[in-house]
Amino acid sequence: MPKPLKLHLGCQEKYLEGYVNIDLPPSEHTAQIVRADEYADVRDLSYDPETVDEVRSHHMLEHFSRQEALVLLARWHRWLKMGGIIHVETPDFEESAKKFVTSGLDDQFALARHIFGSHEASWAYHKDFWSESKFAYVLHELGYGDFRFEKFSNNLEQKIPALKGSFIAKQEKLLGKLGKMGFNNLSNIACYAKKVVRDVDYGAAIKRILGKSLVGREKKILDVWMEDISGKV
């Protein structure tokens, strides 16, 4: 029986056994020591249709423009076998925005970094938002289904899952003050979904999705966006 092909994209320092760990070469990283099986830009990867069992990425998708992110999600869908899994984690924009408007200045600076990126390298900028409702809409349009979401209010809930939702995990003002110990009160969301539709018109789906970002009577900008994805999916 062939070994499952599982991709861990944008792995940085988090090496996962049983996956093909892929990230940019060490020369592109300024603050982390990246460990990967393959060094490449994920936008340049190519796999045959329906040959991949799982695509996983942690805090990578938000680094791409809305056009680039949709191209990647469409490609991953094509690569996945029917029933194959996508597991994507990003900052939870909705929950982060809620915290931002009720926080003091110090916490707002930390939350803004979480929303917009760390800016220490050319790739370290967050270019679009992700939330539960956006994941569900976008992935449904692209042929995914059977969704499951996991939301983390802070990294204590991720470090110690048994404490998720507990009284201790809810002490976010205290967690925010324990940054030197590795704790923070930043919200993240993990989306799990499966490939449930084989044949998808990716161009038409992406056009519908991008149309949601138009303002007023804009049309030409949609033409520009679609030209940007031409030939890429």
Q: What is the pLDDT of residues 53-112, one digit of tens each?
A: 999 999 999 999 999 999 999 999 999 999 999 999 999 999 999 999 999 998 899 999
State yes or no: pLDDT of 199 exceeds 70: yes
pTM score, two decimals?
Answer: 0.92
User: How would DSSP label each residue in 103-172?
Assistant: S-HHHHHHHHHHHH---SSTT----S---HHHHHHHHHHTTEEEEEEEEESSHHHHH-GGGTTSTTTT-H
Do 87 and 139 touch, CB atoms closer than 8 A?
no
State yes or no: pLDDT of 182 exceeds 90: no
Domain 6-201 has CATH 3.40.50.150: yes
